[in-house]
């Protein structure tokens, strides 16, 4: 842990990040050190191989998908503010903030969390989870463990369950309806220590 990275002064836009994301100064400092540790070539930005080097992430069936969630479309590097903003989705909801500095909903509101989860499925960003996209996720989570036919039938059932307007795809509202009984805050939350 180097001293040169230990002060908030070295972190760009630290105050803004603290306000936007709800992380404390101590959290931001820790996350910056983590960012710096993962940044192997020390360019101040993370690349896909930097994420792939994390063993537990490489073991995760949807690891590649999670990594892709950090990168905005068309970009192949992640800077520190974007890194923190993505992680902010997994803050606990119960923190009394209703609006961030730009007037939008805070990152860790249940709605934003659900949106983030939706984006994980909806890779092409067209606002709907198509059958093909669902199949892809199932492929990743089950790998070689089930036959193709079983995969197809599982995907079929899932779409039928969730697709209420019968357009053969799952929209964000249908997604929300599907998960309305799930305690999103608890399931999409990381216990940051302070």
Residue 36, Cβ density class (10 Å: 0-12 exposed, 13-18 middle, ≥19 buried): middle
b/e per residue, 68-105, with b = 16+ CB within 10 A?
ebbbeeeeeebebbbbbebbbbbbebeeebeebeeeee
Query: Considering only 14-22, 101-109, 147-155, which stretch makes contact with other proteins by CB under 8 A?
Result: 147-155
Q: How far is the CB of 14 from other proteins (least distance, A)?
A: 12
Query: Considering only 10-18, 30-38, 94-102, 103-111, which stretch makes contact with other proteins by CB under 8 A?
Result: 30-38
Nearest CB to other proteins, comparing residues 103 and 148: 148
Query: Considering only 14-22, 98-106, 178-186, which stretch makes contact with other proteins by CB under 8 A?
Result: 178-186
Q: Please report whether residue 132 would count as binding other proteins according to CB under 8 A.
A: no
Residue 78 CA, chain-centre distance (Å), reads 13
| Cβ–Cβ < 8 Å for 188, 89 | yes
For residue 129, give every residue at least 6 positions away whose Cβ sits within 8 Å of its Cβ, in sequence order, or none: 118, 121, 122, 169, 170, 171, 175
Among 18, 48, 68, 179, binds other proteins (CB under 8 A): 179
Among 75, 99, 104, 187, binds other proteins (CB under 8 A): 187
DSSP 3-state of 43: coil
Which stretches of the chain bind other proteins, using CB under 8 A?
Answer: 1-3, 6-7, 25-26, 29-31, 34, 37-38, 40, 51-63, 66, 87, 90, 117, 120-121, 137-138, 141-146, 150, 154-155, 157-158, 161-162, 170, 175, 178-179, 181-183, 187-193
């Amino acid at each position: 842990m180097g001293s040169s990275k230990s002060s908030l002064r070295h972190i760009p836009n630290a105050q803004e990040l603290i306000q936007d994301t709800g992380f404390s100064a101590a959290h931001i400092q820790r996350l910056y050190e983590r960012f710096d540790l993962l940044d192997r070539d020390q360019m101040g930005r993370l690349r896909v191989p930097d994420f792939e080097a994390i063993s537990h992430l490489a073991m995760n069936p949807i690891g590649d998908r999670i990594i892709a969630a950090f990168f905005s479309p068309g970009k192949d590097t992640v800077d520190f503010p974007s890194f923190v903003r993505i992680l902010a989705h997994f803050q606990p909801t119960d923190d009394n903030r209703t609006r961030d500095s730009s007037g939008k909903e805070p990152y860790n509101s249940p709605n934003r969390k659900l949106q983030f989860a939706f984006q994980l499925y909806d890779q092409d960003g067209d606002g709907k989870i198509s059958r093909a996209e669902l199949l892809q996720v199932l492929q990743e989570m089950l790998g070689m463990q089930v036959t193709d036919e079983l995969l197809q039938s599982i995907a079929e059932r899932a779409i039928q369950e969730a697709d209420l307007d019968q357009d053969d795809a799952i929209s964000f509202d249908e997604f929300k309806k599907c998960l309305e009984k799930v305690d999103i805050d608890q399931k999409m939350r990381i216990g940051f220590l302070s």
